[in-house]
Amino acid sequence: MNLDINSSHLKRAAELLRKSKRAVALTGAGISTPSGIPDFRSPHTGLWDKVNPMEVSSLMSFRYNPEKFFEWSRPLTALILDAVPNPAHIGLAQLEETNHLVAVVTQNIDNLHYRAGSKRVFEVHGHIRESTCVNCYQKVAAEKHIRIFIEQGITPRCEECGGILKPDVVLFGEQLPFNVVNEAHQAIATSDLMIVIGSSLEVTPVALFPLDALSAGAKLIIINEEPTYLDERADVVFHNCAAKVVPRLVEEVLHE
């Protein structure tokens, strides 16, 4: 979808942001697709279009056949490591720096929010900066062995015990990181504005986070190429690319 950005919607969203004192952004895969990282559910291009996620990306399948997970994730991991933040990531960092945003809650594991300059980021589905040994539970920095894995196809193993190193990402059937989710909930419960960016709002429990914000009295802005189940409850909706809408919104907020 590539529609013109409605100027009245842009002004309304900017007004909400300027009035807000505790705005929180909730981001999904759609904020990173302009950086070259595919999302999960788009027809023909989504990561789940040709594979069963439970066979390649569940905790159970990883335990019994980790090599299958690494084989499937190898090209995706290469894309993530080589990706760079796009204008949407950079725009959110600018909003935080200028005190128009207090936090980013993200479903993404790609580290692009941090690389763009955001400071307070809650990665509720984990990240690929570290890995944990499935045998001795030692935690290690991931980039070195991930690079070797991408270049040579060697499954990452613990230098201490030889166990498989699992990336610190949340697989299907695995619990979300408790402390991170708890902090995200606290930010959402005290927010007065939530901006959903690039999320289809189909994966629970994250899909319910905006409801928590609405219940706390927050306003809601949605920026997503496709409709979501909360469009009718949002104050402003943009069905357009995040990398186009967010920088325009930031410009409107900072240069009124």
**Catalytic residue IDs:** 125
Q: How many helices (H) and strands (E) does the chain have?
A: 10, 9
Residues with Cβ within 8 Å of residue 40, at least 6 apart in sequence: 29, 46, 47, 48, 53
Label residue 151 exposed, middle or buried (CB < 10 Å: 0-12, 13-18, 19+). exposed
Q: Which of 141, 106, 132, 100 is nearest to 255 (CA)?
A: 100
Q: Which of 29, 26, 24 is nearest to 96 (CA)?
A: 24
Query: How big is the chain, counted in residues?
Result: 256
Could you tell me the sign of the dihedral formed by the alpha carbons of 23, 194, 38, 34, in that order?
negative
Contact, 243 vs 116, CB < 8 A? no
Contact, 179 vs 187, CB < 8 A? no
Residue 231 CA to residue 236 CA, distance in Å, equals: 8
